[in-house]
Structure 1
Amino acid sequence: MLLLFILGEVFKSMQVSKINDANLNYEKSRIINVAYVGNFLNHGFALAQYGSGLIYFLSKIDFISKIDIICPYKNNKYDMDLNIQKVNILETYDYKKPLTMLRIIRKIYLHKYDLIIFNMNSTSFGEGNLSNFLGLIAPLILKKIFKKNVVVIYHSSVLTNDVEKLGYNSLYDKLRKAVLKYIETSIFKKVNTFVTLQLYKNIIDKKIKKNRVNAIKIEYIEAIPTLLLNGMEEKSIELQYNKDIPRILLYGYWGPQKDLEFALNTLNELKKEGYNFNLVISGGINNHFKDYQKKYNELIEKYKSIINELKGYVEEKDILDIFKTADLLLLPYSASGGWSGVLSQAIFFEISVIGIEFPEYIEEAKGYENVILVKREDFKNAIRDFLDNFKNGRSKTINVKEKIEKSIKYLNEIIKSIE
């Protein structure tokens, strides 16, 4: 009945405008119009950093003339202007009103876009099941029923991630996983889909028994929003490392799978061994693990003697300063959620990283000497080695423009390859 209702709403909108878009294969030599569907800075939460970076890179591609951002309504009343050219923000849906997701389909149907890009995962349309269900099936409807040229960038599938290890292990979560598996499999088989790791492409192709999914690795993408808000996208960044005591950073949206307790216990043992460092904990609580707030507070209280700064949630603009002043970032996770936005930012700013070894992070960090990934039992030794070899007064210059141009060139080739 729900699917019939959806189709009914969409077919009503067909009466408003008759648009002929039978020719889906645009010539790459001509100018194209693009629609982006998903979260964007200050418009939604999950994948908003990735989405903002993606839109910025798309705006720098010569043959793209316009990008309509089809996104949720603002999180806050104030604007956070990224000053991106070619874009038009179309606030379209409300997480708390699931049926507003149907507006995505209607809005795209009524406009002649050459390419529609969905940036999404199973929870990127809010916390409600119906909202996420309608958001997830939108690209399927647009592709299979209305023959639109749709591309999906999909993050963290149940086909690739051990959701039980990520904290989703109730009976309800298992039922939800079964439904998601069916929907995601349909997307992967029927819609041109990109995933953020070659590892995930291989796993999905094997499970759906088709060579159907593509891998996309846009380097530095998560660092773009803070660069734009600070007007640093075409400037060099001078990193001045701490001269006396190394500054260790624990940063991210915290939940049980990120194992903050393991990191704090390890650092506490190193303090007892006589090692000196300044510890900064930053970031908020993952909205999908609201019960974790109590545990988080208990950990902060237990280990407060070794915590020098507790910053809590950090505004996007201030992320630049967090990374500029850090000497070492720790990733103590007990499970990988996929492509790591925090690791992506650390790679951009070229600060040292010590993390637990997972196949996803090995692929993401390949070729970057500043990232050291170890087995869990070697975590403390790796930090100890860093502290033993810490050199005072180091400095480094980050060539921002060069890195951004590299990512734009890569994405330019990806867009040209889409048929």
Structure 2
Amino acid sequence: MTRHTTSRRLLLGVSASALLTAACSPSSDTKSSGSKTSPSKSPSIEGKAAAAEGKVPGGAPDGALGVNFNEDPAGLGATQLKALSATWVRGFVPVTPGDLKGDVTQQRAIRALLTAHGDGRKTILSLKFPYALGPTKGPLPAPGSAELKDLLALVDRVLAAVLGKVDILTIGNEPFLETLPEERNKTLNVFYEALARHVIEYRGQHGGAGSGTSLYMGALNHLDDPAGRTPATERWLRFVNKTPELAGVDIHPHVTSLQNAAKYVNYVVPTLRSDQKFLATEFSLVQFWKQHMHDPVSPAFAKRYNVDPGRKVWQVIGDAIQQPFPQAKWNDFISMTQWFDTSRNYLTEQMKAFRDTGKLAVATYGGLQIESMASGWDDTKTPWILNPLYANRTVQPGEGGTLGRNVWFEQFRALQKTG
């Protein structure tokens, strides 16, 4: 396999004017939820976008790269962030009555972000509404229902704790994955649009754009698959475009290649207003890693470390989880595994592609191998554990307890820029 490289022309495939021209349709979405858009076209967003002067805070970040801990910040403290030269930190919080109870400032993701803010770092919090899983699994709260009223009261508690203390708040984490399949249509749109209007109104009553917290709509997934581009995703982007208080949209390109990540960018960027940008608060080649879990281990690695040459990649990773490798052994596992080694510059190449659009606000990459990545490890588990900057669950601690490092660590440091 050749090293993943992508030209700017391939990544964007849109004109400069398309990048800088916003278009919106103020009408509501009336299309059937069953139809799909053409895989070769970005969402049809018609009309000229009006300037949103004073609505989106000025001084928006430009091409920044930060650390993402998802729901689990355990072990990712000031020491680890300083070693990475990281200035941006991102996490998410589940916001449903079944998930979030008690003092919201003590919820682990919120507490970690408030601590990072206190340390002078910039922060992103994604509000997650996991109605397709977890203790609140079920239909989305209906408009005007008591259930929605209770949810909005819970949202207000979160907003009271974080507004002005997080730099970016995204409304929704992965909405099209966290909603029941039968509601991934205009039902989803109506729910999230109501949430967004509520958050916008709350912020308007507490400092507005001057509060220091920018608002984005949460992340779109599977845009590299034509089936993932639907009337509901089109309406999502129209809503972002025509809502002046929104600074942009988030994407999560977990893909098999840079070319597939480009499909996300090509779909989203042309829909943004001139004053809007996109986030990529999660991104990786995890779907590419997944394709190789049943490959045999590298013969060179097997010979050097006396490993059964018939052992599969997923089994060797499992060995490292059970008994973490010395750093040198993990490095050899990476460098001797051809399909992984040829992707070792992925972080650098993907960030270049994002930045070349001129529309990236912030991207955040996985920091630690968190517990959920290692638990229940088997040949069917998605190998998220290969993504992070730190290899803290597959590599033995170094001198002084320093965490093991993954191949992306030094790239991340080199990619830091003020944004």
If the TM-score is normalised by the length of the shorter chain, which range does it land in?
0.3 to 0.5
TM-score scaled by length of structure 1: 0.36
The answer to which structure, 1 or 2, has the higher relative contact order (CA under 8 A, 6+ apart) is 2
TM-score scaled by length of structure 2: 0.36
